[in-house]
Chain A
């Protein structure tokens, strides 16, 4: 912490590549987010783009300063901070204030990433950890204010921000409306994104485009995505058929942050497991826990908590799986000998 001072000389000598580590996979991730990001502007206006840029700059600065106190002159900021900023901003409600985004981003970078040692060493998904922090710290801004999306042409591209309507009943997200006793929103609107919700989560179609690109470029594991959706879908079917929940499996999969989380958050290369089998287990757990939280608890958000919980359990699952495989190998060897 006592090496925070940067000299003038150092600033002059700084070039992009001496400060940032180039990461091809992160650039692919940003490209994959492009459809969702453009969609978020169409639905909700331009304001959050400015918020996102501010968050990215704040995060980069924070990471640089903290890494500097750890690594002295060799400190570099990973390009992953831009992906974290994008994911974090897209997971916020459209009306989230700038200060809230900055607080969340700083928490994510300082406590969920740099405190563990920087890129490659974090256990938890930083964007999600930041979101969880502001979700609990500022419940009014995070759960109560949902502007309705623009429609038509040019939609939000011609607006700075979407208006919050005074009528709380209509300015809810599909899940909130369902929990309040309303009919489930039509699947078409969930697919296209004509509903309220966080910036990135409303349009299943745009998320699917991003997923396709990520899988095509091999930048994210399709096993993580598939297992999460499978786990959620199966458990949701069970709850729906037994009458425990009003949400049909298709509604569960297309509403809330499930799709966005499964495609962009669960697949974070650092916090997700490496082994494919463990990925199936972890993803399945993430989906199942999401459905459990959505059905039985008073929270409407399940995915965020589920991913963080499974992040915490992943090292244990990987360890047990490794031991199991070693035991199997040892037994096979004995059988041969």
Chain B
């Protein structure tokens, strides 16, 4: 009845990627992808929160009354988000300052609630943990891809290391959220076209 770990992982990373196929978690994808290190921290933070909150909610799924399940989910997720925020403020203050309000806004990321509703309340804790963690990793993967483009074109660096060459002009717009709109849009366009083509082929 519970999914095998491998199937969960494949689903979350590729076929049902939260950002590119479910189009969830876009807001923070736009803001933090200006550098790869920001994206990595944000992505890991989200993976952590989603994994643990999914596991916690799954463990409690038999005692949470149905009509207040969303309240309970929000509470649990908020606790983990605040813990992540406190942790960053206390031990990685520079990164906390760069990410700014977006750490606290992890709670609004639809991916976490989405997994809690869609998976955690119907599955045992360990699969829920894996599902939550890898949905976060799928999100992180997309973020890193977008950030790679934005950081290389906008700063000429990758993780802070210089990669630009003589005569290269940096694209200032890549440092702003609208650039991420276009990049993520292009990825969704590509994946959607590919999926449509596959569907057309199997339908024949």
A residues near B, CB below 8 A? 1-2, 69, 111, 115, 133, 136-141
Contact = CB atoms under 8 A, between A and B. Distances in A.
Contacts of A111: 182, 185
Contacts, number: 27
A115 B189 contact: yes
B171 A1 contact: no
B169 A141 contact: yes
B172 A137 contact: yes
Interface stretch (B9-17, B22-30, B47-55, B190-198): B190-198
20 contacts: A1-B189, A1-B190, A1-B193, A1-B194, A2-B193, A2-B194, A69-B193, A111-B182, A115-B185, A115-B189, A136-B173, A136-B178, A137-B171, A137-B173, A138-B169, A138-B171, A138-B172, A139-B172, A140-B169, A141-B169
Interface string B154-193: 0000000000000001011110101000100100011001
A309 to B, nearest CB: 14
A69 B182 CA distance: 18
Chain B interface category by residue count: 10 to 19
Contacts of B174: 137
Main secondary structure of the interface of A (DSSP, over half): helix
A2 to B, nearest CB: 6
Nearest to B182: A111
Contacts of A140: 169
Given A111-B182, A141-B169, A136 B176 contact: yes
Contacts of B169: 138, 140-141
Contacts of B193: 1-2, 69
Nearest to B174: A137
Contacts of A137: 171-174
Contacts of B189: 1, 115
A133 B176 CA distance: 12
A106 to B, nearest CB: 12
A136 B177 CA distance: 12
Nearest to A139: B172
A145 to B, nearest CB: 12
Given A1-B190, A137-B171, A139-B172, 15 more contacts: A1-B193, A2-B193, A2-B197, A69-B193, A115-B185, A133-B173, A136-B176, A136-B178, A137-B172, A137-B173, A137-B174, A138-B169, A138-B171, A138-B172, A140-B169
